[in-house]
Amino acid sequence: MSHVQRNVEPMLKVENLHAYYGKSHVLQGVNMEIAPGEVVALLGRNGVGRSTTAKAIMGEVPPKGQILFKGQRISGLPSHRIAHLGLGYVPENRDIFPAMTVRQNLILGIKNMQNTGRWNIEQMLDMFPNLKARADTAAGVLSGGEKQMLTICRTLMGDPDLIIIDEPTEGLAPKIVQQVGDLIATIAKAGVSILLVEQKLSIALRIADKVYVMGHGEIVYEGSPQEFLDRSDIRKEWLEV
């Protein structure tokens, strides 16, 4: 079920990426590539630098090294410029506007009012009956799972070519985890590339075309989900608690 276009220029190419928090050297030469339409899972224990990788790509942490998006160098650009080039970002903290309605939150995600993208508001609401039922309710009263759906949907309203989703299932009930997984699969079917930072192997392996494992600020493993499943040594060393 892969929508990956091989033998074309990568959608995203990260080369020798370093990043710091103060004096702490968090990313120590990260290399990764995401092809058009590819779903890539970035796995690893907490604190190894996965969220920092997402933030460095989006310009929220100053990156050192080279980041190319659709062939254009984006390292060093401000976050809003990067977003306007077609890179969507769903941060860990479910960044919604609580006083605004669900519908207003979705409208805020639209980058270009003239341009009709791959997604529209009614489509989003149809995909999630929960959100549809509360379209005109203040987003602050939504459950954690509904807020997560809304954050992802709002990012999609900007019609990104690649979306980075950081820990989308953190703290959610199993049934909602399944729904978030289905949503990510739907995004992939529409041809959007995805970088998924995720703790839960089940969801990552269900939808990923490629797996990267991170340890101590660098990529320690790259392979297909099937190859990864065959590597209990990698899982033991870098993932199991």
Strands 64-69, 210-215: parallel, antiparallel or unpaired by DSSP? unpaired
Instruction: Give residue-wise pLDDT tens across range 112-147.
Output: 766 667 788 888 888 788 888 999 999 999 988 888
Residue 171 belongs to a domain? yes
| Distance from C-alpha of 35 to C-alpha of 194, rounded to nearest angstrom | 9
Residue 7 belongs to a domain? no
Kindly indicate the confidence band of residue 88, based on its pLDDT and cuts at 50, 70 and 90.
very high
Q: Which residue, chain included where needed, has tokens 């009614």?
A: 122
CB 111, CB 158: distance < 8 Å? yes
Residue 3 belongs to a domain? no
Residue 5 belongs to a domain? no
Share above pLDDT 70 across residues of the chain, in percent, rounded to a whole number? 95
Residue 162 belongs to a domain? yes
Provide, for the chain, the percentages of residues in helix, strand and coil under a 3-state DSSP scheme, each rounded to the nearest 5.
Answer: 35, 25, 40
Cα 230 to the center of its chain, rounded Å: 25
Instruction: Give residue-wise pLDDT tens across range 186-240.
Output: 888 888 999 999 888 888 898 899 999 999 999 999 999 999 999 999 999 999 8
Residue 4 belongs to a domain? no
Domain that holds residue 27: 12-238
- Write down the pTM of the prediction: 0.90
Q: What is the mean pLDDT of residues 158-163?
A: 93
Residue 115 belongs to a domain? yes
Tell me the three state secondary structure of residue 126. helix
CA–CA distances in Å: residue 40 to residues 30, 43, 58: 15, 10, 16
Structural domains in the chain (count): 1
Residue 208 maps to which CATH number? 3.40.50.300
